[in-house]
Structure 1
Amino acid sequence: MSLLYPNPLGHVYRLIEPGPVLLVTTGSLRDATHNVMTIGFHMMMHHQSPPLIGITLGPWNASFARLRKHRACVLAIPSVEMAPEVVDIGNCSAAGDGEPTKWEQFALEARPADQVEPPLIAAPHILANIECVVEDTILVSKYAMWVLRPVNAWTRRGDHQPGTVFHHRGQGVMVADGEAIDLSQRMIKWQEFLG
């Protein structure tokens, strides 16, 4: 019989954090106010009709004001090969006057999005970009949780296996996705989500 040990409540996110680390772009490419930041706290809130994504982004982030103003962002999914740069992007604040932007510092190419003002990220290790609009802000003041509705999505490849993503497990420890286990044939109750 294995023993169970107490876990600090402040660390429970490390046990259940499911999603990959993301880069979030906010602001406007058109007026050069675009910014990029790293985020690890997000979740799917609804699968379809419409799909909804929740992200935690608070006033302590420079991107907060840009998201509030433009009511849109792009969620970019980096591959594990980009993990060191993604962490470094998370260590930087938005550029001040005369300083290089994170776009310049990390050689990220900002490309116009189709439906929103924040840019897509074009880089060899960006697997996908999801253009989002703010659907609901009811949880922002209390929890810094934004409800986003995807309006367009781009992948590096046409398949549904875009590459290896990585997840933050707390205290700077990352874990990369491992071997995929395809159990779709057993999901007989959820066939509408398999298409």
Structure 2
Amino acid sequence: MFEELPLAEVYRLIEPGPVVLLTTADEGRANVMAMSWHMMMEFTPPLVACLVSGSYSFAALRATGECVIAIPDVGLAPKVVAAGNCSGRTVDKFREIGLTPLPAAEVGAPLVAECFANLECRVVDDGFVKRYNLFVLEVVRAWRDPAQAAPKTIHHTGYGHFVVDGETIALPSKMP
């Protein structure tokens, strides 16, 4: 009936949300990385937990306590993958990949012009960073592009495979 699934593949079943871009800026240098390990923790204020491993972005986020979560639609998928396949230590990813950084209002990290939404964030809890590389971020300013009315997000299912948002359904709910 069932067959055993290798534990290394469990993440492919419960990937938490759309692939996003996380931007940082440290010492005048902006960087962007692809990230899919994140989750909402609270509505008000909006809190997001995210896992940022020992990368160039990790060092910048630790140093500044600020970032932007930029949410791309499926049309940006090749650029999102490119952002995840190289290091900001050696490459100016914005220039190399062809993304446009824009100044944010509250944080030093840039917005990404091509994304349909950008969330300016500050680290509010780093108590899990040492053990799990898990940051808790508070969204302090949020932006959306009204020209991108019905964006479709991409969801990583492992090893270069993605699912694209599909049909939307509405069911009765008592949640606000």
TM-score of the pair, normalised by structure 1: 0.85
Encode CA deviations 1:19-65: one digit per residue, 9 max, x unaligned: 1001100114xx531111111111111122x2210110022x11111
Deviation at 1:18, TM superposition (A): 2.9
Deviation at 1:119, TM superposition (A): 0.6
- 2:116 corresponds in structure 1 to 127
The answer to whether the 8 Å contact 1:155/1:162 transfers is no
- Match for residue 83 of structure 2 among 86, 89, 92: 89
Q: Distance in 2 between matches of 1:45 and 1:81?
A: 28
> Which amino acid in 1 is paired with 2:37?
F
- 1:113 corresponds in structure 2 to 104
Q: Distance in 2 between matches of 1:22 and 1:103?
A: 15
- 1:42 corresponds in structure 2 to 38
Q: Distance in 2 between matches of 1:155 and 1:38?
A: 19
Q: Which runs of 5+ in 2 are unaligned?
A: none
> Which amino acid in 1 is paired with 2:23?
T
Q: List structure 1 segments (4+ residues) > 6 angstroms apart after TM superposition.
A: none
Q: Distance in 2 between matches of 1:20 and 1:128?
A: 12
Instruction: For residue 160 of structure 2, give the secondary structure of its aligned residue in structure 1.
Output: coil
What number of residue pairs does the alignment pair up?
A: 176
Deviation at 1:158, TM superposition (A): 7.7
Q: Which runs of 5+ in 1 are unaligned?
A: none
RMSD of aligned C-alpha atoms? Answer: 1.6
- 1:152 corresponds in structure 2 to 141
- 1:141 corresponds in structure 2 to 130
Deviation at 1:134, TM superposition (A): 0.1
- 1:13 corresponds in structure 2 to 11
Encode CA deviations 1:142-184: one digit per residue, 9 max, x unaligned: 011000000001111189x64100000011110000000111x
- 1:173 corresponds in structure 2 to 161
Query: Is 2:68 aligned against 1:74?
Result: yes
Instruction: For residue 71 of structure 2, give the secondary structure of its aligned residue in structure 1.
Output: strand
The answer to whether the 8 Å contact 1:156/1:162 transfers is no
The answer to whether the 8 Å contact 2:17/2:155 transfers is yes
Encode CA deviations 1:78-112: one digit per residue, 9 max, x unaligned: 1111111110111111153xxx6111112211111
- 1:187 corresponds in structure 2 to 173
Higher strand share: 2
